[in-house]
Amino acid sequence: MDKLTDFFKVLSDETRLRILILLYHKKLCVCEMCGITGESQPKISKHLAKLRDMGFVKDERQEQFIFYDLNLKEEVYKAILEKIVDNINDYPELKSDIEKCKHAEKYLEACRR
């Protein structure tokens, strides 16, 4: 049950919820997530580190960038994220994030500045 409450603790932070909903849709690198969410790089990185340490996401380097992806082994976790996505119209900020992540590469370029 600890893992389950840990998962809920993860979701109880707005930034982490946004990250997980984004990764539910697409593998993304740190600076894309910063661009999409408008949050600072250390903030995103720290939350990703926590998610990684807890085993909910995995990372992979591709050239200069480190891409993150969901790593949810148990169905319950996926099912819970799915429920949120099913009701995405109730959560405009999440919906907007998802829209933006369709053009994530845009934020990759913006990163080089």
Report if residue 15 touches DNA, rule: CB under 7 A.
yes
Which part of the chain contacts DNA (CB under 7 A), choosing from 18-26, 46-54, 70-78, 86-94? Answer: 46-54
Q: Give CA–CA dist 9/11, Å, rounded.
A: 5
Pick one of 41, 43, 49, 74: the residue that binds its own copies (CB under 8 A). 74
Helix, strand, or coil (residue 40): coil
Number of residues that bind its own copies (CB under 8 A): 25
Tell me the β-bridge partners of 29. 67
Contacts of 30 (CB under 8 A, 6+ apart): 41, 44, 45, 48, 65, 66, 68
Contacts to its own copies by CB under 8 A: 1-2, 4-6, 8-9, 11-14, 17, 74-76, 79-80, 83-84, 86-87, 90-91, 93-94
